[in-house]
């Protein structure tokens, strides 16, 4: 490529890195780009923070569902106990 200043835009899914580069003739010009992508999940590039938030969200969802099911279980037991006590009292 001829000598000059260039703007390079690197895209990887939704991650973008833009950098201004200067190329010099007769030299090997090496530049590195760093994308903040740790995992590709269902065609979505996730950074470490986003990945950890996804894991935390899934964990919290499981805990909330467990608490709801446990409370429902207790409610059913209390309801069943009330029904049995009423039935035993009528005899």
In DSSP notation, 25-46 reads TTS----------SEEETTEEE
pTM score of the predicted model: 0.59
The two beta strands, 4-12 and 15-23, are antiparallel
12 DSSP β-pair partners: 15
Residue 63: its pLDDT value, please?
98
Query: pLDDT tier at 23 (50, 70, 90 boundaries)?
Result: confident
Span 22-44, mean pLDDT?
81
Q: Minimal CA–CA distance to 10: which of 29, 44, 37, 33?
A: 33
């Amino acid at each position: 490529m001829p000598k000059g200043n260039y703007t390079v835009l690197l895209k990887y899914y939704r991650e973008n890195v833009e950098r201004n580069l200067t190329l010099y003739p007769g030299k090997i010009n090496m530049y590195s780009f760093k994308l903040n992508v740790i995992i590709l999940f269902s065609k979505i590039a996730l950074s470490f923070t986003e990945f950890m938030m996804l894991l935390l969200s899934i964990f919290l969802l499981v805990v909330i569902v467990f608490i709801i099911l446990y409370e429902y279980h207790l409610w059913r037991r209390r309801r069943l106990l009330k029904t049995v006590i009423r039935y035993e009292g009528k005899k």
